[in-house]
Amino acid sequence: MRHRFVATLNSVCALLLAMAPAKADGGTVPEAERTAFQAFFFAKFPKVAKEDFGNGPYAVNEGMRKQWQEIMQFPPYELALDEGHAEWDKPFANGKHYADCFDNKGEGIRQTYPRFIAATGQVETLEGAINRCRVENGEPPLEPMTGTMASLAAVMSQSSRGKPFAITIPDDPRALAAYERGKEFFYSRKGQLGVSCASCHMSPAGERMRGDILAPALGILAGMPIYRSDWGSMGTSIRRISTCSSQTRALPLKADDEEYRNLEYFMSYMSNGIPIVGPGTRP
Amino acid sequence: MIRALFLAGGIALLSLPAVAATQAEAEAALAAAQAAETEAVAAKAAWTPTEAALTAAQKALAAGNWDEAKAAADEALALAKLSVEQANEEKTSWRNAVFR
């Protein structure tokens, strides 16, 4: 009787283990990590609504928020939206459109990027998908950090406003590996200054670093692409990440480098549930 | 008097510049720095000040300023080595920073 009980218990345990979520190489479960990551920010900023985290420094600093509200009377990304809509509607030489490359004709899908693509075994960003669309239709790829690319990303982000980040990690060890590599980048100290993404955007979020208010990592990509006053132009997520690299005195990687794509995958996954607010503006 | 002469001689010796670098030494230093930086770039660990020091070394070499070229190349070499060292350390130590 006792042996049968133990055997049954063993079978139940084996079944439960088999049903357990997949673990990445680091022995972690992404969803548990996301919960802990978000709980940290909700505890750190108890007065900030979950929906507001996409607004970065404006969500956590009252003075900056007032300035931003005034700036938003004439949003500096409006010209980019005009250019983006014109480009989006313009047919390629083969008569097809950007809309033909995307689910739901590209409407309201920005929150699902970056995506893990099984065919390539790699992460694809929104800008990567736009360029793939162009190349598959016989057009040259766009410069991925600014210009027309940022304008197109602005159009796609605008159609997703209010939709929460919904990044998935498919049941594929390569997807989990990409997530882990992105996490490794986020927490690794880089550059001559020896700082990581986390060094600025976790515990010190909301604090001043010289003239800037450090944005919380939670939702930091929900406002992309952005018009940044410091640039005097629009920039995509990867332009901002590349600028961060320079600010740490690290030599930026290529814009479409796998490390950057994995980082964006990890950061976006951590922000699942935070609504898209892009295009945005930053100092 | 003799004491004063020795003192003056000592001061004169100290104020002399270090032994001047030759062109061959400057070129060798630059080659070593470039090799180290190539390793850092391949490891995606390179730093911008290393690139700046390399550029300064190349400019000084082109201008025939061997001392300056060697000094900048030596600085670039040290920075490149540090950047690779940082990347190697972070291969494991990043896990200590993960928020749980």
pLDDT tens sequence across A139-188: 999 999 999 999 999 999 999 999 999 999 999 999 999 999 999 999 99
Q: Is the pLDDT of residue A1 over 80?
A: no
Closest residue by Cα to residue A21 from A37, A11, A9, A34: A34
Residues in chain A: 283
d(CA A154, CA A280): 9
pLDDT of residue A11: 46
What residue has token string 């929460």? Answer: A164
* Average pLDDT of the segment spanning A28-57: 95
Is position B5 within any domain? Answer: no
pLDDT band at A16 (very low <50, low <70, confident <90, very high): very low
Is position B4 within any domain? Answer: no
pLDDT of residue B99: 79
ipTM above 0.90, yes or no: no
DSSP alpha helix (H) spans, chain A: 2-19, 30-44, 57-60, 62-71, 78-89, 126-136, 147-158, 173-187, 197-201, 237-247, 258-270
User: For residue B74, what are the domain limits?
Assistant: 21-93
Which of A26, A191, A196 shows the shortest C-beta gap to B97? A196
Closest residue by Cα to residue B90 from B34, B43, B50: B43
pLDDT band at A14 (very low <50, low <70, confident <90, very high): very low
- All residues at 6 or more sequence positions from B1 whose CB lies less than 8 Å from its CB, including other chains: none
CA distance B33 to chain A (A): 16
Q: Which amino acid is at B16?
A: L
Burial bucket for residue A129 (CB in 10 Å: 0-12, 13-18, 19+) = buried
d(CA A158, CA A84): 11
CATH code for A25-66+74-283? Answer: 1.10.760.10
Q: Is the pLDDT of residue A21 over 50?
A: no
* Average pLDDT of the segment spanning A65-72: 96
**Interface of chain B toward chain A, CB-CB under 8 angstroms:** 41, 44-51, 79, 82-83, 86, 90, 93-95, 97-100
pLDDT band at A10 (very low <50, low <70, confident <90, very high): very low
B contacts of A187 (beta carbons < 8 Å): 94-95, 97-98
pLDDT of residue A252: 98
d(CA B90, CA A189): 7
Is position B53 within any domain? Answer: yes
| Helix then strand then coil, % of chain B, to nearest 5 | 80, 0, 20
Q: Is the pLDDT of residue A18 over 80?
A: no
Looking at the complex, does the CB of residue A101 fall below 8 Å from at least one CB of chain B?
no
- All residues at 6 or more sequence positions from A240 whose CB lies less than 8 Å from its CB, including other chains: A224, A226, A228
Listed as ranges, residues in chain B with pLDDT below 70 are: 1-18
Is position B89 within any domain? Answer: yes
Q: Which of A21-30, A240-249, B80-89 bottoms out in mean pLDDT, i.e. has the lowest?
A: A21-30
A contacts of B81 (beta carbons < 8 Å): none
What is the set of active-site residues of A?
244
List the structure tokens of B68: 């300056």
- All residues at 6 or more sequence positions from A280 whose CB lies less than 8 Å from its CB, including other chains: A54, A55, A56, A77, A223, A224, A225, A226, A227
Which of B41, B49, B98 shows the shortest C-beta gap to A187? B98
* Average pLDDT of the segment spanning A243-256: 97
In this structure, the strands spanning A280-282 and A226-228 are parallel
**How high is the mean pLDDT of chain A?**
92
Count: domains in chain B: 1
pLDDT of residue B9: 54
d(CA A75, CA B6): 76
List the structure tokens of A13: 């345990």
pLDDT of residue A13: 41
Burial A46-79 (b: 16+ CB within 10 A, else e): eebeebbbbbbbbbbbeebeeebeeeeeeebbee
Q: Do A249 and B99 touch (CB under 8 A)?
A: no
* Average pLDDT of the segment spanning A202-218: 94
* Domain-wise residue ranges, chain A: 25-66+74-283
Q: Is the pLDDT of residue A6 over 90?
A: no
Which of A33, A192, A198 shows the shortest C-beta gap to B47? A192
Q: Do A190 and B90 touch (CB under 8 A)?
A: yes
Is position B1 within any domain? Answer: no
pLDDT of residue B5: 53
d(CA A30, CA A116): 14
Which of B49, B94, B99 shows the shortest C-beta gap to A192? B49
pLDDT of residue A75: 97
Q: Do B94 and A202 touch (CB under 8 A)?
A: no
Nearest-CA residue of chain B relative to A198? B97
The residue of B38, B86, B93, B99 whose CB has the most chain A CBs within 10 angstroms, and thus the best one to mutate to test that interface, is B99
Q: How many CB pairs under 8 A join A and B?
A: 53
